[in-house]
Structure 1
Amino acid sequence: MKKILLAGALALALSGCASQQPEAPFTLTLAHINDTHSHFDASDVPLMLEGRPVYTRLGGFPRLLTRASALREQAKQTDQPMLFVHGGDAWQGSGYFKLNQGAMNADLLSRLGLDAMVPGNHEFELDNQRLAQFIESVNFPVLAANLDASREPALKDAANLYPYVLYAFDGNDKERLKSMEDAGSDPVVAVMGLVLEDMADIAPNTGNLVFGHEVEAAQRTVNALRAQGVKHIIALTHLGLERDQRLASRVNGIDVIVGGHSHSLLGDFSDLGLGNNPPYAQLVTNPDGRAKTCVVQAGQFAQAMGRVSVIFTPDGRVSRCEGGNTLLTDGVFYRDIRRGEQHRLSEPEQQRLAALVAQDERMAMVEEDAGLRRHIDEQYKPALDAAYGRVIGHVPAMLEHRRLPGRDGSQSQVAPLVAASQLYWMNTPGVQAVTGRRADIALVNAGAVRTGLEPGALREGNVTLELLPFANPLSLVSLTGRQVAGLLLETINTSLPEGAHTGRFPYLAGLRYQFDETRKGSGFLRSIEVRQGEEWVRLDPNASYNVVMNGYSASGNDGWNTLFEAQQVLTDRIDLAWVNGRLTAFPVARLSKTQDGAIRVHYINQPLNCQAQGVQCNTDASAFVEYVRDQRPLVTPLSDTGITLNRL
């Protein structure tokens, strides 16, 4: 009897000790991507390795899938909870999107095994009907807590658009819940979405959607989730790093912010040539002064994947947040962007760099998922190759396009090349045989150039469908030096004021100028010079110059009023287009305006009809294609743009 009582007492004592054991902390792994922008294939990227530039291929969706599958398997083996999320801007950015729009994104994103996605601003660039189709087509929830779609017919009944979703975890086993009533004792993670509050000012096609204040909507949603008993809250945002940090400092209760929009490859990648960016998994203190929010983001173009491990205290606060971004390389290295066999590094060099990558947590050699690679190649790539045509050159490093030069002296790296291409093309023997004239100057309105140029092979379609997609004919028109100067003054001064339309800003070739801003938003031309042979000479106000530009600008549209005024009575302008494959000149007699203010072009003989069968008007794009192919197969920035803009 004593033995039985003793055993019972011991059992009670042991059970009491067991009940006093501290609860094991909940740990969550988050894998994340953002701003993939339809980069389904790998990107050609220059990296600095061993102190020298080498070229490799990073990312692409088949490589993302391999990486995500490996992380999921690792989480399964260790019985750890894991989520895989997308921080928005899956749309736009490649020829695949031009051809397939949201449908290819819906297909391939669904194959990645995502748990949630937040819409980015580029998801609102087509129309709400196609966005609704995308949302209903994907096999993961799309989240936006500060989006009111109740007055938008296309999206008000979208069944897959939520403010947040709930996931319950039993180790690695994951279950999506309808409400906290179904949670039981399992830890629950809420993932909420936040989109840009000023989306209507950024995206062109938001319809009747209403975008709520980011901070207010976030706190309201967090409070509602906490009231339901949710301890762990992830905000999936497309706001940009600066706003993410502001959100963390102004909202209580968000544990992790997984962001997008600013394309921030967080972490120090300076020795790889990719910049010393803000730290990954930065902890920002909440307004209550106690809790902290962990902020992460994973770069751009499907080149990297972020992975963060979050350890929570029993009451749900973040105690540790660690991880980093990993660049996903194919492990093959070249000394030249053209990637010819003669450019491939030797086998000993390949092995040495592979060993270097293996030792660096910021990089990983990852094989493409064979099934997804095959699916892309069979279902989508043939149409891309047919539409985009031949490779005409290679871009060694990213060329940025900015419409208005900055106060720091930064300018578009692409628009000056477009102007140079038009001046070059207009003066080729074949074109001069049609025009009978030689061009002196080229002018390009910044808005005609629609994108920068990414590293890698440049195809004809990258020019005709993306860089210069408006299919504009090139025009050649005589202007006096005084008219050229007046046009520059007009377009520069109307581009400088805060909030002005900067698409009319002029980039140029064959001409250079210095402009001094004397007060905010206006100034004067200190000097203007035109190139004659190998020399620069002062622009003669009374001399006549042959100026090439696209036909839209040549007619005085978009604020180039000087050109309309110069051609109201008489002009020697020639518009150039292809007719049944033959370059043809269309002489212009004069310009006029209709009663509603639209500019009308009066041709001397047959009018130029760009919609007519056999007529192709995209001589602006033809000029760039020919210039790159014949003169600049390695597309690098011009050493001198001709523009000196001294801003206040």
Structure 2
Amino acid sequence: MKQSTLAFPTIQRLTTMAALVLGALFLGGCATEGAGPVQAPSNAPAAFELTIAHINDHHSQLDAFAATELVLDGVPTQVELGGFARQTSLFKSVAGTPNLLKLHAGDAMTGSLYYTFFKGKADARMMNTICFDAFIPGNHEFDDGDATLKAFLDELAQGPCQTPTLSANIVPQPGTPLAPAGGKPYLQPSIVKDIGGVRVGLVGITIAGKTRASSRPLASTQFLDETRSAQAAIDALTAQGVRHIVLMTHHGYEADLALAAQLTGVDVIIGGDSHTLLGDFKALGLPSGGRYPTVARNAAGERVCIGQAWEYGKAFGLMNVRFDAQGRVSQCSGQASLVIGEPFKRKDAAGAWQPLPAAEAAALQARLAANPAVRVLAPDPAAAQTLAGFASQVATEKARTIGTASEPLCLVRVPGERADPRAGAGCEAASSLARGSDVAQVVAEAFLRGSRRADFALQNAGGVRVPVPAGTLSMNTAFTVLPYTNVLVELDLTGAEVLAALEDGVANHLDLGQSNGSHPYAAGLRWDLDMSQPKGRRFSNVQVRSKTTGAWTTLGPAKTYVMVTNDFVAAGRDGYATLGPVYAAGRYVNTYLLYTQTFVDYLTATGPLARPSRADYSHQKVITRGGVALP
């Protein structure tokens, strides 16, 4: 969702970490599953093959995406896409594959009402219908802190699966939820699996800066440098004679490519975080982020096979890795496949979507069986039954209507950049307009209305997750737009601090290379923005709207204002460095208003939802990074 930067640990600290990892591995901190005590390295066969089935970033999206349009046999066709019970069927279908590993590369939680109401319990129960060999925490596993992650991992440990959770660069403080006093730590840097008589090492790495800046881990939980931590864990395994290393990462596809080139001893990287679809899907009407698997080279010039499987349970990765007699990768192949199922629908002569007749649907399914880019199958019955137990508890609340939208509210994180296409008709030009995100603007307006004290409201672009199509709005709409558990706080700020905070939000993505989710939107506050200028000179003509008269006046640098925002931004997260000390000094009031409920209250109070007047948008004039003035 959001990113920031975390300074590298000192060499002394890294050396200490490496020593701890080595010691833990030699003293039993690295579990060897199915192989008994650590033995001398086995003699791997010349043609040892490893198969890896993997997913990532399912984000509590446990239901299938109905009526998803793909191009099948050259014809636009609606299908059901994904669904965790369908993933269970797929994992079960490959269960007989020799030398199989089943991996989940993080961000299991947050993103749907299943998380809102069950805080990972539903995700863990569904993951246990697959029994992954390993899981790594993504940044969103820390959205509600270490204790919520612990509760999720406790659920994951229920039953026979006992899925280990790996991260070589997360170091919880002893006595905290993830490292309980006198108990077993919840996170291991690595494990060793016996795969067909050959020992295979698994190492976990979680994105450091983004997790610290954009989620809510305990301040005492350390996030160490990804590259150095990965190498330390790999070296500890190779010192034991483990010759085959699979690195599980949650820090993005491009970062995986860069990481592979800096490491020695790594053979495979199974990643997540960037939601990248790898493979050739042009015939299906989808773009690709690269080849599947992507073949890179490590620091020793040896092959590294890299895979990622898109997002939300929509895709399934299956990678085959072949090793030579020296334990090096000689070949890797495989496929990331879209996971789809019936009903299949196509447009009739009148342009309406209609289910295919049974015979046509069966013939289409038979043809698709020869296409490795798609896997057509029904949901696993037992997994579907498990999910139904959770679904029944939220169905009534999800369906409750809270209002309507008279026009689509487009989602554009940064004016001039790509618009989210999910709002449909009416947002075709959104990416070319200075106003930017309609839905972020409306969310800010909701926050301002919900606060009695605030002069204006601030919302980070990445905290608003989806656009809003025109039509009926339900509770599910609100919880999908704002899926987290933030509350609203009111900060006392000078005008100079407000301006500095705005500059922080833009510099976070323009200068620091972090997520553009930090980009600011506001209600009751407007500006001109020139992103071609350096930090400190980007914002001009900043004005405040009177809550009583509606008149706009220039922001006074020495004047004190009250700004309402979510507690995440208020605490200085997502690059808002100016706000952090204000929050830490106690210059705020916690309203204890759940931000999603505030949005719901706004929808129900204001009638049909529409875009604000153009004069009320926070972005009045915008010049892009490339110097283009937007209309």
**TM-score of Structure 1 vs Structure 2, range by shorter chain:** 0.5 to 0.7
| C-alpha distance after superposition, 1:138-171 (max 9, x if no partner) | 221101122223545222243453211112133x
Letter of the structure 2 residue corresponding to residue 520 of structure 1: P
Q: Which residue of 1 aligns with 2:535?
A: 521
After TM superposition, the structure 1 = structure 2 runs for residues 216-615 of structure 1, keeping only pairs within 5 Å, are 216-289=228-301, 291-334=302-345, 343-347=353-357, 350=361, 353-378=364-389, 380-390=390-400, 400=411, 402=413, 404-405=414-415, 415-417=437-439, 419=441, 445-447=458-460, 450-453=463-466, 459-463=474-478, 466-467=481-482, 495-498=505-508, 505-506=520-521, 515-516=529-530, 519-521=533-535, 545=550, 556-558=562-564
Q: How far off its partner does 1:280 sit?
A: 1.0
Q: How far off its partner does 1:55 sit?
A: 3.2
Q: Which of 101, 113, 137 is the equivalent residue of 2:155?
A: 137
Q: Which residue of 2 aligns with 1:621?
A: 600
Checking the alignment, whether the CA contact within 8 Å between 1:264 and 1:298 is kept in structure 2 is yes
Aligned residues: 509
Q: TM-score, normalised by structure 2?
A: 0.67
Could you tell me how far apart the structure 2 residues matched to 1:330 and 1:308 are?
22
Q: 1:524 to 1:358 in 2, by over 3 A?
A: same
RMSD of equivalent CA atoms: 4.9
Could you tell me how far apart the structure 2 residues matched to 1:487 and 1:546 are?
22
Checking the alignment, whether the CA contact within 8 Å between 2:478 and 2:599 is kept in structure 1 is no
Structure 2 gaps, min length 5: 1-43, 157-161, 419-430, 449-454, 490-495, 553-559, 567-584, 612-616, 626-631
| C-alpha distance after superposition, 1:465-519 (max 9, x if no partner) | 753877889xxxxxxxxxxxx999998667544579986834679x998654573
Could you tell me how far apart the structure 1 residues matched to 2:393 and 2:287 are?
36
Q: 1:502 to 1:213 in 2, by over 3 A?
A: closer
Q: Which residue of 1 aligns with 2:124?
A: 106
Between 1:356-365 and 1:343-352, the stretch displaced more is: 343-352
Letter of the structure 1 residue corresponding to residue 298 of structure 2: N
Secondary structure of the equivalent of 2:128? helix
Could you tell me how far apart the structure 2 residues matched to 1:398 and 1:114 are?
39
Q: Percent identity, aligned pairs only?
A: 25
Could you tell me how far apart the structure 2 residues matched to 1:471 and 1:389 are?
24
Letter of the structure 2 residue corresponding to residue 621 of structure 1: V
Secondary structure of the equivalent of 2:342? coil
Q: Which of 179, 191, 196 is the equivalent residue of 1:165?
A: 191
Could you tell me how far apart the structure 2 residues matched to 1:472 and 1:90 are?
26
Q: Which residue of 2 aligns with 1:189?
A: 200
Could you tell me how far apart the structure 2 residues matched to 1:97 and 1:83 are?
27
| C-alpha distance after superposition, 1:385-412 (max 9, x if no partner) | 133233678999996552x436786789
Q: How far off its partner does 1:346 sit?
A: 4.0
| C-alpha distance after superposition, 1:310-355 (max 9, x if no partner) | 111111111111001111111323469xxxx963244276456535
Q: 1:626 to 1:63 in 2, by over 3 A?
A: farther
Secondary structure of the equivalent of 1:142? coil
Q: Which residue of 2 aligns with 1:179?
A: none
Q: How far off its partner does 1:643 sit?
A: 5.2
Secondary structure of the equivalent of 1:234? strand
Between 1:490-499 and 1:121-130, the stretch displaced more is: 490-499
Q: 1:194 to 1:39 in 2, by over 3 A?
A: same
Checking the alignment, whether the CA contact within 8 Å between 1:451 and 1:467 is kept in structure 2 is yes
Letter of the structure 1 residue corresponding to residue 170 of structure 2: L
Of structures 1 and 2, the larger Rg is shown by 1
Q: How far off its partner does 1:136 sit?
A: 3.6
Q: 1:502 to 1:235 in 2, by over 3 A?
A: closer
Structure 1 gaps, min length 5: 1-21, 171-185, 427-441, 474-485, 529-539, 548-553, 561-595, 602-608, 633-639
Q: How far off its partner does 1:41 sit?
A: 1.0
Q: 1:597 to 1:218 in 2, by over 3 A?
A: closer
Q: Which residue of 2 aligns with 1:38?
A: 60
Checking the alignment, whether the CA contact within 8 Å between 1:136 and 1:159 is kept in structure 2 is no
Checking the alignment, whether the CA contact within 8 Å between 1:32 and 1:307 is kept in structure 2 is yes
Could you tell me how far apart the structure 2 residues matched to 1:114 and 1:396 are?
43
Q: Which has the higher contact order (CA 8 A, sep 6+)?
A: 2
Secondary structure of the equivalent of 1:192? strand
Q: 1:64 to 1:494 in 2, by over 3 A?
A: closer
Q: 1:508 to 1:355 in 2, by over 3 A?
A: farther
After TM superposition, the structure 1 = structure 2 runs for residues 111-126 of structure 1, keeping only pairs within 5 Å, are 111-126=129-144
